[in-house]
Amino acid sequence: EVLLRMHSVGICGSDVHYWQQGRIGDFVVKDPMVLGHEASGTVVKVGPGVAHLKPGDRVAIEPGVPREMDEFCKTGRYNLSPTIFFCATPPDDGNLCRYYKHSASYCYKLPDNVTFEEGALIEPLSVGIHACKRAGVTLGSKVFVSGSGPIGLVNVLVAKMMGAAAVVITDLSASRLQKAKEVGADFTIQVKNETPQEVASKVESLLGCMPEITVECTGVQACIQAGIYATRSGGTLVLVGLGPEMVTVPIVNAAVREVDIRGIFRYCNTWPVAIALLASKRINVKPLVTHRFPLEKALEAFETTKRGEGVKVMLKCDPTDHSP
């Protein structure tokens, strides 16, 4: 293990959800819990046997740490391990604090040209990497991203990076769609009260064809329906957003057109990839951060996220550090 002095921690919709609702599905907050799972910091102390890190190293933290070497770990899909530790998923504490202890294997050294803030953004970026890999985005792919929150935006970034020829994105908010344009979306659709079929046909007319890949980042029933109708026959729909447990979808439409529906759960094996992309400047996540608060103003930061202002709200945990 290593002891870290925390630096940057991003606020996620799930953090706000736990704070407001006290649960997400079967994960129920029963005792006081520290929030935060998008984080970076500086190594203060290393435990015995830690060779790859030393005090002073700047690191990005992967929040999911398997507790045992089970079948999922053996096959490299450790995110699916049923006993995994995960920051800020009850009953596990997160890392929105001054000092935090974490498994050394899940702390990754940041190169000098990657900032703490970028290090904290690797967590949401990882969702995009994992989703686009599961979707099979490749050279020339036409991609439809549903929802332009932080996760929709990282999927735009990653899809373009992986060779997508055109990406269309939908949202209710004009300002969020503007941000999507900034990070590389080719087309945007501001959804008002169209039916799922109407959204699908707008996607098709903008792309000039139906997309082979749809990445659904809202979890809203109507959006999942639009995702099925929009995806080309033989294509893939990846469900990233989480909504109610039960949703009604045109499953027969998907079945007879051989549209594969895939789920994702967080990510695995993405931190080294993300660090390489950030260090080589192949991907720019900086535009995602729109608000910054010191740790003392955490409540204000959470309220800002809850109101849906900006994109990514970042907390600074170290008052002595004035680096970007």
Q: Where are the domains of the chain?
A: 2-109+285-316, 131-263
Position 12, amino acid: C
Query: What's this model's pTM, rounded to 2 decimal places?
Result: 0.96
CATH, domain range 2-109+285-316: 3.90.180.10
Residue 103's alpha-carbon distances to 61, 107, 148, 221, 240, in angstroms, are 9, 7, 33, 38, 27
How big is the CA angle at 294 (ends 290 and 297), to the nearest 5 degrees? Answer: 95
- Nearest alpha carbon to residue 8 among 320, 294, 310, 297: 294
Terminal C-alpha separation, the chain:
27
**Percentage of the chain exceeding pLDDT 90:** 97
Weakly modelled stretches of the chain, pLDDT under 70: 321-324
The two three-digit tokens of residue 131, written as one number: 């989703």
Report whether 40 contacts 275 (CB < 8 A): no
pLDDT at position 305, please? 95
- Listing from the earlier edge strand, what are the strands of the sheet with 236-239? 187-190, 166-171, 142-146, 213-216, 236-239, 260-263
The two three-digit tokens of residue 185, written as one number: 């979306």
pLDDT at position 53, please? 98
The two three-digit tokens of residue 198, written as one number: 């109407």
pLDDT at position 324, please? 52
Strand partners, 293: 315
- What is the C-alpha separation between 112 and 158, in angstroms, rounded? 23
pLDDT at position 322, please? 62
User: What is the C-alpha radius of gyration for the chain, rounded to an integer number of angstroms?
Assistant: 20
Cis bond upstream, residue 319 (ω within 30): no
User: Quick one: angle between helices 150-161 and 174-182, nearest 10?
Assistant: 30
Chain-centroid distance, C-alpha 106 = 17
Neighbours of 288 (CB within 10 A): 23
**Widest CA span in the chain:** 60
Neighbours of 37 (CB within 10 A): 27
CATH, domain range 131-263: 3.40.50.720
Query: What is the H or E stretch that residue 42 is in?
Result: strand 38-46
- What is the C-alpha separation between 235 and 257, in angstroms, rounded? 9
